[in-house]
Amino acid sequence: MRRSTMEATSVAMGATSLALLVSMWIASTLSVSVIPHDAHPGYSVKKYNSGVNYRLLDSGFSQFFTMLEDGSIMTVSDVSPLVNRPIDLLVLEDEGNATKTHMLQLYVLDRRNMLSFKSDSDEVQGRVAENSPAGTKVEGLPVLQAASGLTTVPITYSIIGGNAAQAFELKHSVTGDVLQNVTVSDNQAGVNLVTAQVLDREEANRYVLTIQASDPIGVNKAVTNLVVEVDDENDNSPVFSQKVYRFVVGDDSLEGDNVTTSWKRFSSIGKVEATDADGDKIAYKMATPTNFLVIVPQTGDLLLSEEPSEEVELELVVEAHDIRTPSRTSPRPAQVLFKFKPPESSKVELDLDLQKLAERELHRGKRRVTRAVRPTKRIEFTESDGDTEGRIVFQLEKETDRETFKIRDENPWVTVDPNGAVRVKKKWDYEELGPEKTIDFWVTITNAEKGGKS
C-alpha cells in the first residue's frame, strides 16, 4: 500500500511540472533577430501581424525599442550599448478571450563582426548542362565564402531556399566533402555549388537558390541568392500526337473531321503533328514512297499530288526529326491511312454517256468498242528514222472518221498532227534519249462531232 501511494505521488508531481512546461510553450512563439550595433533609430527589427492587438511589454529595454500601431518593433535610440548582451522582448497578443505571448530574442552585433558573403556582386548566375552526372560543379559561380571582421569559424553553409527536389548540394572547397550543410573551419575555405542529381531542363530550367552562412549557434548569419540556369541538350526526340492519322478524300459517306469531298491537286487534306520537348523545330518526311501524297517538311501538311485513277486505300509511314545537330528522329513513326474514292456522280455520267453512245451506235447498226484508254503502242525505230525534222514516222489509226489527235504534253522529239501523223520535231539523238532509249507521249483523241474525249 505505502509503496503504491508513493509511486502515485511522484507520477502526479511529474505530470504537474510537465503540464506547466507544455502550456508555456504553447502560449508563446519565439523569434530571433539580429541587428547591427550602428542601426539608426527607427530601424525596423521585426513586424508582427498588423492590428491593434499586439502590445510590447515593459522591460528593461523600453528606452531602446517600441512597437508601432502596425505591429512592427523598431529601435528608438542608439543600440550600441547593447552589443553582445542577450535581450528578450515580450509581446502580448490579445485574442479577446485569451492572450498569447510572443518572445523576441534580439542580438545586437558589431557590424564588423556580422557575417556577410564575399563577392555577392554580379557573379550570382551560374549554369550547368542538363544530364550532367550528380556532383557536377555549377559553372560561373565563385567559391561561396562568408566572413566577418572576427575570425568566426566554424561557419556552416546551407541551401535554405529554392532547392526544389534537392537538386543541389554544397561542396567544401578544400576537402571536397559534399553535403547538404557544409561546415568549414578554415578561414580560407568556402563552398562550391554542385548538382545532387541528374537535372532535366524540361522539368526545371532555372533555380533561384538562397544560401545561408551561419555561426554554430545560428545567430550570426548571412544569406546570398544564386541563379542557376540549366542548359539544354538535345535529349528529346519528336513525338507524334497520334499513332494513326486517317484521311479520306472523295467519300463523304464516312463521318469525321478529315474527309475532303473533292480531289484538287496540291490541296491540303490535313496534317500530321509531332512535338519536341526540347522545343526544337521539326521536319517531316514520307517514309513510304507514293505518288498520291506529298508531305510539307516544315508543317506536316499532306498535299494531294496525283489523282488515283481508281479507288485506293494506302497505309503510309511518316517520320519526324528535329532540326538540330545531332538530330533525333521520332522513336515511333506515325501511320497515315489514306483512302481515295473517285466521285460517284461523274462515274454515273460516264456510264450514261457510254449508254447513249452505245444506243447511237445501235441506231447506226454498227457495233464498235469504245475505250477510255486505248492500249499503249510500242513501235521500234532506229536513230536514223529521226534524222529529218518534219518527217512522218508513223500514223495513228482512227476508230471513227471524226476523231482528231493532239499530243497531251509538249515533247522535244515528236509532234502529232490532228489526223494522227506523228512527225519528227527535232533530230533524234541516241545519247540524249535517257536511260530507256524511248520516246514516250500521251495522245488525246477527240471525237470532233461530240466534242467529248474518249
Q: What is the b/e burial string over 43-59, where b = at least 16 CB atoms within 10 angstroms of the residue's CB?
A: eebbebeeeeebebeee
d(CA 146, CA 117): 4
Q: Taking a C-beta distance cutoff of 8 angstroms, is the pair 129, 200 a contact?
A: no
Query: Of 40 and 332, which CB lies nearer to ligand NAG in the complex structure?
Result: 332
Q: Which stretch of DSSP H or E encloses residue 187?
A: none
**Min CB(379)–ligand NAG separation in Å:** 48
**Min CB(84)–ligand NAG separation in Å:** 22
Interface ranges with ligand NAG (CB under 6 A) = 96-97, 158, 160, 180-181, 245-246, 256-258, 270
d(CA 166, CA 95): 39
Longest dimension (CA), the chain: 143
**Min CB(193)–ligand NAG separation in Å:** 15
Cell digits of residue 39: 542601426
128 Cβ partners below 8 Å, 6+ apart? Answer: 136, 137, 138, 139, 195, 199, 228, 229, 230, 231
Cell digits of residue 52: 491593434
Q: What angle do CA 346, 347, 349 make, to 5 degrees?
A: 60
**Min CB(395)–ligand NAG separation in Å:** 52
d(CA 264, CA 191): 69
Query: Of 341 and 425, which CB lies nearer to ligand NAG in the complex structure?
Result: 341
Query: Of 205 and 258, which CB lies nearer to ligand NAG in the complex structure?
Result: 258
**Min CB(377)–ligand NAG separation in Å:** 44
Q: Taking a C-beta distance cutoff of 8 angstroms, is the pair 138, 130 a contact?
A: no
**Min CB(227)–ligand NAG separation in Å:** 20
Q: What is the b/e burial string over 106-135, where b = at least 16 CB atoms within 10 angstroms of the residue's CB?
A: bbbbebebbbebeebeeebebebebebeee
Query: Of 97 and 384, which CB lies nearer to ligand NAG in the complex structure?
Result: 97
Query: Of 124 and 182, which CB lies nearer to ligand NAG in the complex structure?
Result: 182
Q: Shortest CA distance to 238 belongs to which of 289, 293, 294, 297?
A: 297
**Min CB(97)–ligand NAG separation in Å:** 3
Sign of CA dihedral 116, 119, 123, 126: negative
Q: Taking a C-beta distance cutoff of 8 angstroms, is the pair 168, 194 a contact?
A: yes
**Min CB(452)–ligand NAG separation in Å:** 37
Q: What is the b/e burial string over 333-349, where b = at least 16 CB atoms within 10 angstroms of the residue's CB?
A: bbbbebbbbbeeeeeee
d(CA 323, CA 297): 11
Distance of CA 160 to the CA centre of its chain: 29
Query: Of 66 and 258, which CB lies nearer to ligand NAG in the complex structure?
Result: 258
Amino acid identity at 44 = S
**Min CB(350)–ligand NAG separation in Å:** 30
Query: Of 118 and 271, which CB lies nearer to ligand NAG in the complex structure?
Result: 271
Query: Of 49 and 97, which CB lies nearer to ligand NAG in the complex structure?
Result: 97
**Min CB(143)–ligand NAG separation in Å:** 19
Query: Of 215 and 278, which CB lies nearer to ligand NAG in the complex structure?
Result: 215
Interstrand relation of 54-56 and 87-94 (parallel, antiparallel or unpaired) = antiparallel
Query: Of 131 and 181, which CB lies nearer to ligand NAG in the complex structure?
Result: 181
Query: Of 97 and 325, which CB lies nearer to ligand NAG in the complex structure?
Result: 97
**Min CB(331)–ligand NAG separation in Å:** 20
Residue nearest ligand NAG (C-beta atom): 256
